[in-house]
Amino acid sequence: MPNKFEELKKAKHPLDVLPDLYRYAQEGWEAITDDDKERLKWYGVFFRKRTPGHFMMRIRIPNGIATSAQVRELAHITRDYGREVIDITTRQQVQLRWMRIEDIPDILQRLAAVGLTSMQTGMDNVRNVVGCPLAGLTLYELFDASPVVRAFTERILGDRVLSDLPRKFNVTITGCLENCTHAETQDIALTPATKLIDGTTQVGFNVRIGGKMGSGGMTVATPLDAFVTPDEAVEVCTQITLLFAEHGPRDTRGRARLAFLVEDWGIERLRAELERRLGRPLLPAGQDMRGRHHTDHLGIVPQKDAGLYAVGLCVPVGRTSAAQFEELARLADQYGSGEVRFTVGQNVLLVNVPDRLLPALLDEPLLQELRPDPSPAMRGTVSCVGIDYCNLALAETKARALEVIHHLERTVPFSDALAGRPGVRRSMRPLTMYWSGCPAGCGNHQAADIGFLGGRTRVNGSVIETFDIFVEGRTGPNPQSGEKVLENVPAEELPGIVEQLAQAHARGQSLREAAAEIAAQLAGNAVPFPAQEPAQAAGAG
């Protein structure tokens, strides 16, 4: 039996809700039906129970590449209609808060005027297509894949079949050699590869499918054993998405992901069906050109053109403001080429900065707030929105993450080799700490050195926030899902426990071993951590 979301899509295609949106703007938010609250997510408009009468808007930014005019307009919109809060997401896009339904028509018009859209940023759609934020500029790419990202985005927007998927669908398309987009957790991942064809080395992509983070935990994407050229990439991605639309499971929401179709069919059957749709055989996979190095693109990084630099700025836990966005736009115009680029680590880059302007840029006040040289703990932290705004979240995340960061900055002697010192190329990544407020896993908690999954537990008649802790997750070559090592840790206990894990990381000790030692210590406590009540099921936002 199809779930309730399939029923509401059959009753009215969600792309047909736009006239109703304009009607609700006249009638007020109380008039919105429950089904239309879900359909409005197809236009990036999210009703939030925690802020009655106000909405979140999610804005699509393909490949994370925005113009200064777009960034400036986002600042003006949230200043005019919201409360100046802007969140950068793990999909290189932004979320605006506190919008009223009465103002949405004007907001949509203002977005369109600068080439932005909020379409299909929620529910059963291909979400923002991510890519290397330094595409076209970095020394460490096989080729610039951002045109493919833009072309695939244009293909999916407004398509009635591709906007009626069984569930959300995540795609990365990248030519970066440094594993900067978590390719192994995507439904489709195109990563840089080469192949000898008719005596000539061709550049293109290897294809992986069926990765995910939520819906039962992290699943590593399966190699399709296929090589595609940039010219073929949009067609291949489209046909994989259509295959999912037609054959993906729709009965149980929690299993409505491509990963489960791969599990049910097997990769050989799925590849054969894809070839049938394409009308031709796929070439076997080429040589994976990625190295083992992971990068977050922070710090001062030389670009491929001599004398130009990218300056990657750390946005603490991804939360910023209208004032900071206005300053980013100004700095992009004054020091760079009028572009601001967003990363999957919730940070921002200013690009094409001439070397002669670097000293003045580094003296700008904003760079004391959004630093190019953050502490390793700050640098490696990613957080979902958490309970203050999200309907699904079971725990506060951003404030908890900052509390842990500041504690580690006082107590753990991180090596200078991990800091983002100007002009220094890091040989290893910082300690990564990813926070998810619910099992949907928007914070990618199983892809980090230390991951946190929020929950709620009843203790002596009171409900408290608790976290499960995962360790040693990673993406890139030899990907690995983080292993849960501690359960139901009360939130107030986190700083001390994470300090012990971070000390072990700084010593080069296995985090699994360190967690086992901590678990043994806790087992000897007079009052152990409480057993957790069943978590609420993650919804379908």
The residues carrying an active-site annotation are 58, 167-168, 437, 442-443
The residues, any chain, with a CB within 8 Å of residue 154's CB and separated by 6 or more, are none
Compute the CA torsion angle 79, 51, 492, 506 (nearest 10 deg).
-50
The residues, any chain, with a CB within 8 Å of residue 271's CB and separated by 6 or more, are 224, 225, 226, 282
Residue 135 burial (CB < 10 Å; 0-12/13-18/19+)?
A: buried
Which CB contacts under 8 angstroms, 24+ apart, belong to 353-361?
A: 353/308, 353/309, 353/310, 353/311, 354/307, 354/308, 354/309, 355/307, 355/308, 355/309, 358/300, 358/309, 358/311, 360/335, 361/311, 361/331, 361/335
Kind of pairing between the strands at 299-302 and 308-313? antiparallel
- DSSP one-letter string for 309-354: EEEEE--GGGEEEHHHHHHHHHHHHHHSSSEEEE-TTS-EEEEEEE
Q: Of 82, 120, 101, 135, which Cα lies nearest the Cα of 322?
A: 82
The three state secondary structure string of 29-56 is HHHCCHHHHHHHHHHCEEECCCCCCCEE
The residues, any chain, with a CB within 8 Å of residue 25's CB and separated by 6 or more, are 101, 102, 103, 104, 105
Query: Among the residues of 67-145, which ranges form H helices?
Result: 68-81, 104-113
How far apart CA 39 and CA 15 sit, in angstroms, is 8
Kind of pairing between the strands at 200-209 and 188-197? antiparallel
